[in-house]
């Protein structure tokens, strides 16, 4: 019975150790899968950020190009209008001078006034053109400032992402280290329990052997007493027969 009990106990211990080994293997596989998932997620986030930055840079370049083309068109249109106004003014002056020499002086004054108006008009056009050009330049400066701000923010986000990745890797390593320490402590505790169990079993076997020795002594004493009683009874019967 004791040998059968020891075999059952050893089998139970082997099954327990095998289950613990399977649990450690499952934990290792789960940790590897989680690490791979985190790494894939970080790579995907990096790719999305790079893609968004590239698209935003293309969009800003397109806007700058469109604004520059619009500014050139406005400048060309203003130059064409100014030339047409000058041509019409000159043609009108020549025509008036050819029509009537007597009216030339009077008309010259009027034409001078009209020329002054035309000049003022041209100056006004130039001022408006200059204002438009300055507005375009101011808009370009704002766009460039926005691009620089965007680049600074992108670099900040990139640095923040790298810092988060570093902290995440550090946290995973710390968790793995804590897990290894817990497993080592658990294994040490299990070994300690195993030794204590073995000690208890040894003490139990010693007690059982002692109990068996006591029982053997009791059986021997009982047999001796029974034999002595039988001998007395036999002697008594012999005595009675002799009498």
Structure-token match 């008036």, residue found: 96
Its domain, for residue 158, covers 1-17+49-196+199-203
Residue 41 lies in a domain: no
Taking alpha carbons only, the member of 94, 80, 89, 163 closest to residue 120 is: 89
Residues 104 and 97 sit within 8 Å (Cβ to Cβ): yes
pLDDT the model gives residue 105: 65
Taking alpha carbons only, the member of 136, 146, 128, 49 closest to residue 82 is: 128
Which tens digits make up the pLDDT trace of 6-23?
A: 777 777 777 777 777 777
Which tens digits make up the pLDDT trace of 60-69?
A: 788 778 878 7
Residue 191 lies in a domain: yes
Residue 71 lies in a domain: yes
Residue 69 lies in a domain: yes
Taking alpha carbons only, the member of 32, 39, 37, 36 closest to residue 176 is: 32
Residue 223 lies in a domain: no
Residue 92 lies in a domain: yes
pLDDT the model gives residue 67: 76
pLDDT the model gives residue 206: 81
Taking alpha carbons only, the member of 22, 30, 16, 21 closest to residue 176 is: 30
Torsion of CA 31, 34, 35, 41, to 10 degrees: 180
pLDDT at 98 over 70: no
Which tens digits make up the pLDDT trace of 39-75?
A: 878 888 788 878 877 887 788 788 778 878 777 787 7
Residue 177 lies in a domain: yes
Residue 124 lies in a domain: yes
Percent residues over pLDDT 70 in the chain: 92
pLDDT tier, 209 (very low <50, low <70, confident <90, very high otherwise): confident
pLDDT at 190 over 80: yes
- How many domains does the chain divide into? 1
């Amino acid at each position: 019975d004791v040998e059968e009990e020891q075999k059952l106990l050893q089998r139970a211990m082997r099954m327990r150790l095998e289950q613990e080994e399977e649990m450690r293997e499952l934990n290792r596989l789960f940790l590897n899968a989680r690490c791979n998932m985190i790494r894939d997620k970080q790579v995907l986030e990096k790719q999305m950020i790079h893609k968004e930055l590239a698209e935003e840079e293309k969009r800003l370049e397109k806007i700058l190009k469109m604004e520059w083309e619009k500014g050139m068109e406005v400048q060309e249109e203003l130059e064409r209008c100014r030339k047409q106004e000058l041509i019409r003014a000159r043609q009108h002056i020549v025509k008036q001078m050819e029509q009537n020499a007597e009216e030339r002086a009077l008309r010259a004054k009027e034409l001078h006034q009209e020329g002054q108006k035309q000049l003022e008009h041209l100056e006004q056009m130039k001022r408006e053109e200059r204002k438009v050009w300055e507005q375009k330049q101011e808009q370009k400066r704002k766009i460039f400032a926005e691009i620089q701000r965007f680049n600074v923010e992108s670099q900040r986000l990139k640095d923040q992402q790298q810092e988060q990745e570093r902290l995440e890797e550090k946290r995973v390593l710390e968790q793995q280290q804590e897990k290894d320490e817990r497993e080592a402590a658990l294994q040490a505790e299990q070994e300690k329990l195993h030794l204590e169990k073995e000690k208890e079993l040894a003490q139990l076997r010693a007690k059982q052997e002692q109990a068996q020795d006591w029982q053997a002594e009791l059986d021997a004493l009982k047999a001796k007493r029974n034999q002595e009683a039988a001998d007395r009874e036999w002697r008594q019967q012999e005595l009675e027969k002799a009498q």
